[in-house]
A and B are shown apart, each in its own frame.
With several copies, the nearest count.
Chain A
């Protein structure tokens, strides 16, 4: 059936709010001012006051806003609509229960600077979550302050720096090298750099593992402050030599930082603390299911060994008898990394997740997540090139090698998946695999949806072989086609202005 297209569909053509604005519309009502007003000049001299009448700020009614936001929402894909197999992102179900409890008045309406004795419940919650995360990772020190994974990394790397500075004194300045595998996430080197380290890259083997020989060579070059290792690594494989890796780094005088973004493969099954890891960050917005929210917020707890705990950010939440307190008395602390107590709302959700699962549930989730990935890896291996043959953990990796001969590359496959009703996998990450497709189903997908995904991937391969242009031109079913990102970056338009083109270049 060919569709008789209509161009003025309001939902498909919802403009920017600024373009909807009409002078004189209002969307709010405040209570009447109930105090004796002070004259405006007495309140504030004219030169301190705005004189632009908030030019450009929209004037719309409440209904306008509701329709505007609802309409544009329909242009998004979401976990609630289906499988969202972004590798490394752990797009699992965001429980409504967690959303509900995070909104309880006693949490949502609490000021962070209220007296400790009147915020005991919030401190207790933080404390309980700390305890549970320490047990889960096998590491005794913790700070929930970091707002996301990258900040957790920075915190962790700074702990290493503080430890080395204390241990080695002046000598420490000769240890400024942070080792990072070529497969690492970009935040790793960026965080290392923010903490004053230079980065040396460690190669991966053909099996997708850390190259032990290269690691040893680089360690032998000296100056090694530590290693930042993701485990399972970013190709989804567990670093079987993890104990040896840690031993090598420790022998070289460095410490081991583990990027815990992939903890969804391990919770309840193995603990970084038992592997010899010194520091780790978690992404509560991955493993512990707090919603990604279209980009954030997250929460990136940093956990560490007992030796490093004294350097954690202050204040620390501790329990003294029956009371929960904020302890600022850690003179060796690297300092605060975020105002107040971190992204507390995410902590409420994560604890609710842990309470709901218990140990059995957490382990079951890990098993289900790994099984789902293994299943995809197995079912697609005849169709797509699989760069590594080791057991994959929670994510499966493929490349476009079998399709690129026909001119169909990873990006095309990803876009064509959209037509099949799926969110694409992570593409072109990690960099070590050319045309990488990293598929992380998570535990929140059932077999029937997985099978549909597998079938779609096989169909796309068939299309790539038989009618490559169809795939290259995808997506065909979205409101908007592929966007010209190069021009967007060359001539950036980063805000609305009155003279902007509306809706389309030709309109």
Chain B
């Protein structure tokens, strides 16, 4: 086996040193009757070229990856500068462990610290952690944290929050005390309409903005409503690029901001690995889940970084920990960090603006086609819902099969009561030509 740096002879010598003769004897503490006494029924070992060929053959069946696409809904196609993937492939980063030995992990620790800072800056919050698995689990953890902070158990969440996020949060909370109350969105504006569910039992009001339909919520108003009943205001962001243009959740009064960082230069990769974002206020820091990196000094006064406040975590607190998370999404946080640093202030602003502009252009063009209109009136960022006079499934199939374009996501996948609608996402990677082609395909031209 070419990955094992010992020859058969070396292994025999080592066996002799430990007083054995054959490898099987290494396992004598395993009762014979639970030892496997046959070969596993898996493929024969393949040569490197054969593995590549097998993988390429499978990849080639993913024809969606080759088509112009207007899919968003929590996973976005953005351009990632080449240096991102090159730098995360430095083995100093990708072949190292969680930085538990700070003296030889300052590279990792420093980027985590930068990541935490950047997430604070973009979300407008005071403290952010070193990453969660993804946006959905980050939201689930926000529910749990809100319960801990407020000692209340009612979570009010709008149905315009990403449906898969809500499913995950339901799974996480099903055995706890949480009571989840879903509140609807306004059919006209696409925004939250009715906050009557908020009361003095409410631990958190949870909204997504831009929401699943691409509509931007009036966060400041919602924050006030939550705070009025003593609840935390939790804002979910699935499209992190929007932070370059939209008023930050922190500036609007959010207490916890959770989200998905995939937009920051991470490949869509069939849904993962991505990176969950989690930010909050300083005063809640000891209730946060996940790892935190902080400044520390050595005895000569040199600045360095360490993982800190770990008394919140499972390896110290065990069943009383703020979360069970251990392995997180470190390397993806690095990729996101490099993305944010490379784009910088100007780049994050410009890319956000381009997304908004292109989506606005696309929406205008689509709205001008007979039989199509834009579903909600609230301002949008880079996604919007299109209502069609025909079933969305049929419309999108036609566009896909006849024109080779993935035109968006049928809302009925998650909202069976909305069969004629689909969600369109337009990013800086969609050229005008692609948009125009989508428009003419929808128009049946």
Contacts and interface: CB of A to CB of B under 8 A. Distances in A.
A113 B35 contact: no
A114 B69 contact: yes
B294 A391 contact: no
Contacts of B49: 30-31
A60 B5 contact: yes
Interface residues of A, number: 217
A76 B245 contact: no
Interface in A130-150: 132, 135-136, 147-150
Given A111-B77, A122-B270, A295-B131, 9 more contacts: A29-B45, A31-B46, A95-B3, A99-B82, A158-B174, A187-B314, A291-B95, A294-B108, A335-B167
Contacts of A296: 98, 131, 273, 327-332
A38 B379 CA distance: 13
Nearest to B177: A196
A364 B24 CA distance: 11
A110 B43 contact: no
Interface in A76-96: 76-81, 84, 86, 89, 91-96
A111 B348 contact: no
Given A24-B7, A503-B303, A62 B342 contact: yes
B1 A43 contact: no
Nearest to A231: B30
B3 A93 contact: yes
Contacts of B400: 115, 118
Given A371-B23, A495-B127, A292 B96 contact: yes
B interface bracket (residues with beta carbon within 8 Å of A): 35 or more
A89 B97 contact: yes
Contacts of B61: 106, 119-121, 124
B9 interface: yes
Contacts of A193: 319-321, 324
Contacts of A91: 95, 97
B14 to A, nearest CB: 5
B345 A481 contact: no
B8 A24 contact: yes
Interface in A173-207: 185-187, 189-196, 198-199
10 contacts: A16-B113, A61-B2, A74-B92, A108-B269, A118-B400, A124-B61, A296-B328, A367-B26, A375-B18, A492-B294
A218 interface: no
Given A23-B7, A28-B81, A77-B105, A489 B308 contact: yes
Question: Counting chain B CB atoms within 10 Å of each CB, which of A62, A104, A271 scores highest?
Answer: A62
A54 B118 CA distance: 10
Given A57-B344, A296-B329, A357 B171 contact: no
B194 interface: no
A345 interface: yes
Nearest to A51: B247
A479 B106 contact: yes
Contacts of B347: 26-28, 30
For the complex of A and B, the 4 pairs showing the least CB-CB separation, nearest first, are: A340-B271, A106-B59, A295-B330, A293-B331
A132 B43 CA distance: 9
A456 B348 CA distance: 36
Contact of B92 (A73, A185, A355): A73
B313 A186 contact: yes
A442 B288 CA distance: 34
B93 A73 contact: yes
A429 B332 CA distance: 27
Nearest to A93: B3
A428 B413 CA distance: 49
B271 A48 contact: no
Nearest to B39: A359
Contact of B319 (A69, A190, A295): A190
A345 B273 contact: yes
Interface stretch (A235-243, A250-258, A464-472): A235-243
A401 interface: no
A190 B316 CA distance: 10
B62 A119 contact: yes
A335 B174 contact: yes
Interface stretch (B151-159, B196-204, B333-341, B383-391): B333-341
Nearest to B19: A378
Nearest to B288: A494
